[in-house]
């Protein structure tokens, strides 16, 4: 549901955000005609509007869901066999699918990328990557055993102690932040949810 916001003028912040976000939509999903980005009547930001049938295409941040799978002192990382960041290490994570809860998606990605069997635990990080239009959610997880069977998106999956983490070869800032919070919380002896923004 997107009720029109009557009387709201397009804010400078919204304009700035729209300028910096990639314009992903080229053609109308209904009729295939080219779209143009403009502010529809009674809206307050630019949308991809079909130049033929006037269909308005709304775009929202994409959800990325993943886990921090732990086995005792060790944490599971996967080396990426795909772009972007081919060859760099990541926590198992990927795009949330339609019809899937965030918890189910996080578990699925862990199975797909590492072939790991896990017991999902609590939500751990909620990280906005505003410039990329993404929201990253990581859950803690407990590995049920150390049998790993990496899928095609993964070159290698293995366990790391904190002093073995390849900090300079991590794929994404949300992975680094999540690992930093994880080890800090573990030292304190209490895990809490961490929410924040990644530039």
Under the rule (CB under 5 A), what is the footprint of Zn ion? 28, 30-31, 33, 50, 52-53, 55
Say if residues 38 and 23 touch (Cβ distance below 8 Å). no
Residue 36 vs 101, nearer CB to Zn ion = 36
Q: How many degrees, rounded to 5, is the angle at CA 31 between CA 25 and CA 36?
A: 40
In whole angstroms, how close is the CB of 30 to Zn ion at the nearest point? 4
In whole angstroms, how close is the CB of 51 to Zn ion at the nearest point? 8
Residue 24 vs 187, nearer CB to Zn ion = 24
Contacts of 18 (CB under 8 A, 6+ apart): 37, 45, 46
Residue 52 vs 82, nearer CB to Zn ion = 52
In whole angstroms, how close is the CB of 46 to Zn ion at the nearest point? 17
Residue 55 vs 156, nearer CB to Zn ion = 55
**124 vs 105, 163, 177, CA distance in Å?**
15, 21, 11
In whole angstroms, how close is the CB of 56 to Zn ion at the nearest point? 10
Instruction: Give CA–CA dist 17/22, Å, rounded.
Output: 10
Contacts of 155 (CB under 8 A, 6+ apart): 79, 80, 81, 87
In whole angstroms, how close is the CB of 33 to Zn ion at the nearest point? 5
Residue 51 vs 146, nearer CB to Zn ion = 51
Say if residues 62 and 93 touch (Cβ distance below 8 Å). no
């Amino acid at each position: 549901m997107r009720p029109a916001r009557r009387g709201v003028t397009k804010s400078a912040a919204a304009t700035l955000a729209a300028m910096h976000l990639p314009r992903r939509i080229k053609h109308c999903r209904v009729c295939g005609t080219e779209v143009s980005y403009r502010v529809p009547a009674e809206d307050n930001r630019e949308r991809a509007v079909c130049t033929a049938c006037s269909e308005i295409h709304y775009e929202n941040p994409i959800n990325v869901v993943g886990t921090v799978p732990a086995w005792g002192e060790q944490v599971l990382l996967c080396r990426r066999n795909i772009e972007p960041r081919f060859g760099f290490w990541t926590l198992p994570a990927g795009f949330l699918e339609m019809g899937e809860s965030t918890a189910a998606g996080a578990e699925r990605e862990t199975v797909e990328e590492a072939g790991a069997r896990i017991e999902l635990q609590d939500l751990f990080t909620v990280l906005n990557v505003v410039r990329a239009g993404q929201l990253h959610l990581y859950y803690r997880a407990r590995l049920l055993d150390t049998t790993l069977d990496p899928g095609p998106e993964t070159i290698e999956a293995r366990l790391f102690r904190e002093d073995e983490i390849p900090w300079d070869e991590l794929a994404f800032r949300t992975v680094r932040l999540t690992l930093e919070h994880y080890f800090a919380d573990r030292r304190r002896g209490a895990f809490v949810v961490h929410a924040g923004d990644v530039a």
